[in-house]
Structures are given as C-alpha cells and as structure tokens.
Structure 1
C-alpha cells in the first residue's frame, strides 16, 4: 500500500507533463493551420507598387516568376520593385526571371531594381532587365561570368581500393565524372558550353541596358565591383537604397504622397516555423552538395 502511494506523485507528474506536451502541440498545429489560411499578402491586396524580393541562392524561379506574372495581370499595379540580395545561382532561373521582367515592361509596367548587400552574377542578370537600377555605394555587384565546377576524387578511390567501371553509349556521356581526369577534348566541350552561356549573359545586359556588347565584354571577366564602381561603368543608373527606389518609382508613375505597396507574404513550411527558422529550406538547399555539376551565374568568394 505504501509503495502504491509513493508511485502516485510520479504518475501524476507524468500525466501532467503529457497533457502539457499534447496541449502545446495542438496550439502549434492551430497556429500553423491559421497562418496557412491567412491572405498571401503582408499588406493590402491593392496598391500601385509591388515589391518582389529576390534573396539567396537562385536555384528555383517558380515563386518569383509567379509573383511577377500575377502583377503583370493586375491592372491596379503600375510599377514593380525588385529588391535583390543574391549572389546568383543556376543559369535557367535567372533567365526565366529576366524574361518575366521583360514581359512586365512590354505590358506597360515600370520596373525598378534595388540592390541590397549583394546583387552579383545571376543577381545582376535579373537587375539588368529593369527599367532603372539603384544600388548602395557599397553593394557588391558585377561578376558577369559563368562557371561550372567539378571535383576529382580519382586518387582517393585508388587509396580506398575502389575501381569504377562505366558503361556508356557515347564518348561524352560521363564527361565531368569525379572518378577520372578530364580529357582535353572534354574540357574544350565544357568550355564551349560555359562560353556560350557567358555570351548569353552579355547579350542580356546589352538588351536590358541598351549598351553595345563590345563595352560589356571589357568588364565581363567575372570581376566583382561596388555599386559606386558600377555607376561609373553604366551598369546601374543611380546610387540609393530601397526607400529612394520607392520614391523615384512613385514619381515616375505619377503617384503623389506615399504609395501603397504590395508585398507577398513569405510562405514558411511548418517544420521551418517549428524550428524557428534554424535551418530554412533555402539554406538547406544552399549547403547541400549537388549530386551533379550545375552551370551557374554565381559569385562566391
């Protein structure tokens, strides 16, 4: 009887603890469901100027392209600001965003780009599609180039006794394999690919900035530069931050006073929210090793 009485406080504590855990979990689920049902905007669903944030490593363009497409079909939106804070990333996403910006301009929407801390390589590729570009004096930009990086673990496999065997139907099928050295012919093949993508970059700038390709080629060697330097090279139009960009665009489209802004709410996965963003999906994708080489407009120190 005495032993039973001694176990009762332990059981009571366990039950209370379990109730607390289950209650906390239920509250978190309700918050997550509630946030998912809220409107997709932080601010008003109507306004003259939309702000689109381009942040982090560019590996997927779908969210940004969808935002731009929505604003293109929104008759109330008269101007769009691209707030760019990105070192670039994969080639195709930058090109898809660039093309969508061009569609906005073709539909009489005025597009301004505001560069944050860094808008280099693919980040600049996107910016150059805008009607007008502003950057802070210390913004890092430029890096007009393309890159394709490979690893070679041939010596490592020899040390651990691994002898790979590849069956292929074409001589270039396993080009860039980490298990062997690259032949001169393969290296030339990949160099031609990178050079072609680099040429596309130069052409995009020439079209967006209305500059002769010969002028762009002089600085299209991968060099990084500040916003102040970019202004002298005519890669941007003016020095200034986001607030100045809003003021200039509002004046351009004829808005008096403080314009109404539309900014899409960032969609956060439940797990990211639960972990308080300790490892967001974007960061995880950035840090995770790629299973294959990526052709990139990317600046990395």
Structure 2
C-alpha cells in the first residue's frame, strides 16, 4: 500500500512539473516562423480569444484574456514582413475593455495602410469590442450561427450599503475631491455622479457608432438603429450589413488570398504565440462555450473587477 502511494505521488509530481515546465518555458513568440518561408504569398493568422484587455494575455480555469500588447505586436510584425500579403484575424471573444479594443483596432488600421489585406473570421462569438475590431478589417466572414453585434457601452457599479449595514460594517473615506470615490459600493451614487458616468458612456458610444459607420460604410443613423446593445446571429448580421459573407475559417483564408492577389495555394502561418498551458485551459473553457456559445457574453456581463467598470457591449 505504501509503495502504491509513493508511486502515485511520483506520477502526480511528474505531471505537475511537466505542466509547470510547459507554462514557464513553452511560450513561443512566433519568431520561429520568420525567415523560413518558401513563398511570397503568405497569410498570417492572429488569434483573438477571450475577453479583450489592455496589456498581456492571461488565462485561468474560468477565464481567458486577450491582451492588446501581444496582439498589437503580432499586427506590427505582419506589417513589417514583406512576405505576408494578408492577415486573418480569428475572433472568439465577447468583447472587453474600450481601451484594449481601440488599441488593437488602431493597429489594424495601420496594417491596412501598410498595404496588407485583413479579413476577420468570426467563430462562436465576436461581439462588442470584438466587433469593433472586426469592422476595421477589409472584410468580415461569420458563421451563420456566430453571435455578433452587441454594439454599445456599459458601465456598472454595485451599491452594497444595505448589506454593509446588516453586517455592522461602516466605511470611512478620506478623499481629495467630491468625486474621488465615484462608484463606491459603500454608498448611493449621487445625481451629479450619475450624470458624469452617463456622459462617459455616451461619449464612448459615439466613438463606437463612428468607427462602425466608417469601417462598414454605413450611415451613422442606420448604425444607431442597430447599436442598441442587441446581439445578432451571423445570418442576421449579413442581412443588416454588419458582415460581408457567411463561411468558416477556411472561407476567410480564401477571401484573404483573393483580396491579396495570391495565386495558387497560399502559405498559412500562425503569428500568435504558442501557450501550451494556456491553450489547455482555453480548451477547458471552450467545452462549455461550445454548448452555450452565448455564455461568453454572459460572462462578460457578470465579471467585475473594481467597484465600477466600463467596457464595450
């Protein structure tokens, strides 16, 4: 019995060490692909998976975040590489922060100005900030059942004052100005603060409508009719002019090749870093999202970081 426990312990220990090694040393940065191509007709693929945030990628058992820093670097590499003629952005995201989505979208604009063709390929979900990015591409391809749209902005705060009172908890605040603790969960939001928050949401919303209008070539008044936060299937999005065609990932590659004038079978390379450990976690998450593809949107709505947060929705 003791020997069995020792053997079991060794097996578990080796497995844990293997996982740690993969997490620490198994992160490729895409550099291996550079300088090893056999053609000048190359399509680069960039993955945008999980909630979009500024900064670096991160992942856990319950969430995955697509960091803008990593994606922007990939877009710039594609812009600087003469062999890459087109890029496919593979989107599986419910959206995320306004700043993170804007950072990536700006690099997409610069990539197109560099002469590269960019096609968005929508997977299960490409909504909110994911759609912000997609609408900056030359073309958008969605599955008929893709969930997209959700054009709008949401800011949330929680009032836990009643709960604190029941628990006998009191908050003492020292602040330099009347609005320094705006959105605090320990008190009611004042009428003036509501106006300030709403003005921020309204400004972000105007930016979102403007970028969709410019990217899709749709009048802003028409965009506003669609930009009430609702979500669309891929086929509904096509009917409303929010996407260009229905198809899968390979159809998006074909479209990118056609736009770039690539003859014959293009060489397709991944520009995204290889995170074995994160990939395994993402795979665990995808098991649930494949059953309920809208669950990513629900997670985006329920997640909270601070007392208040603003994100595209």
**TM-score, normalising length from structure 2?**
0.79
In structure 1, what is the Cα distance between the partners aligned to 2:164 and 2:265? 63
**Mapping of 1:96-175 within 5 angstroms?**
96-175=103-182
C-alpha displacement of 1:68: 0.5
The range that moved more, 16-25 or 161-170, is: 16-25
In structure 2, what is the Cα distance between the partners aligned to 1:197 and 1:38? 33
C-alpha displacement of 1:264: 3.0
In structure 2, what is the Cα distance between the partners aligned to 1:128 and 1:185? 35
**Contact between 1:117 and 1:138, CA under 8 Å: does it hold in 2?**
yes
CA deviations 1:136-164 (Å, max 9, x no partner) are 11111111100011111100110111111
**Contact between 2:161 and 2:185, CA under 8 Å: does it hold in 1?**
yes
In structure 2, what is the Cα distance between the partners aligned to 1:279 and 1:226? 21
Does residue 239 (structure 1) correspond to residue 246 (structure 2)? The answer is yes
In structure 2, what is the Cα distance between the partners aligned to 1:102 and 1:37? 26
Q: CA distance change for structure 1 residues 223 and 276 in 2, over 3 Å: closer, same or farther? A: closer
The range that moved more, 178-187 or 39-48, is: 39-48
Does residue 296 (structure 1) correspond to residue 303 (structure 2)? The answer is no
Among 189, 192, 211, the alignment partner of 1:182 is 189
**Mapping of 1:260-275 within 5 angstroms?**
260-268=267-275
Aligned residues: 285
Other-structure match for 2:52: 58
**Contact between 1:58 and 1:88, CA under 8 Å: does it hold in 2?**
yes
Structure whose alpha-carbon radius of gyration is higher: 1
**Contact between 1:87 and 1:121, CA under 8 Å: does it hold in 2?**
yes
- Secondary structure (helix, strand or coil) at the match of 1:197 reads helix
Q: CA RMSD in A?
A: 3.2
C-alpha displacement of 1:37: 7.2
Does residue 248 (structure 1) correspond to residue 250 (structure 2)? The answer is no
- Secondary structure (helix, strand or coil) at the match of 1:180 reads coil
Does residue 212 (structure 1) correspond to residue 219 (structure 2)? The answer is yes
**Contact between 1:40 and 1:265, CA under 8 Å: does it hold in 2?**
no
Q: CA distance change for structure 1 residues 31 and 159 in 2, over 3 Å: closer, same or farther? A: closer
In structure 2, what is the Cα distance between the partners aligned to 1:94 and 1:76? 27
- Secondary structure (helix, strand or coil) at the match of 1:168 reads coil
Other-structure match for 2:74: 67
Q: CA distance change for structure 1 residues 144 and 13 in 2, over 3 Å: closer, same or farther? A: closer
CA deviations 1:158-199 (Å, max 9, x no partner) are 011111111112111111100011111111110110110011
**Contact between 1:44 and 1:261, CA under 8 Å: does it hold in 2?**
no
CA deviations 1:10-29 (Å, max 9, x no partner) are 7x889878877777777777
Gaps of 5+ in 1: 1-8
- Secondary structure (helix, strand or coil) at the match of 1:78 reads strand
**Contact between 1:231 and 1:237, CA under 8 Å: does it hold in 2?**
yes
**TM-score, normalising length from structure 1?**
0.82
In structure 1, what is the Cα distance between the partners aligned to 2:247 and 2:283? 30
Q: CA distance change for structure 1 residues 38 and 192 in 2, over 3 Å: closer, same or farther? A: closer
Does residue 48 (structure 1) correspond to residue 42 (structure 2)? The answer is yes
Q: Which of the two has greater strand per residue?
A: 2
Q: CA distance change for structure 1 residues 80 and 179 in 2, over 3 Å: closer, same or farther? A: same
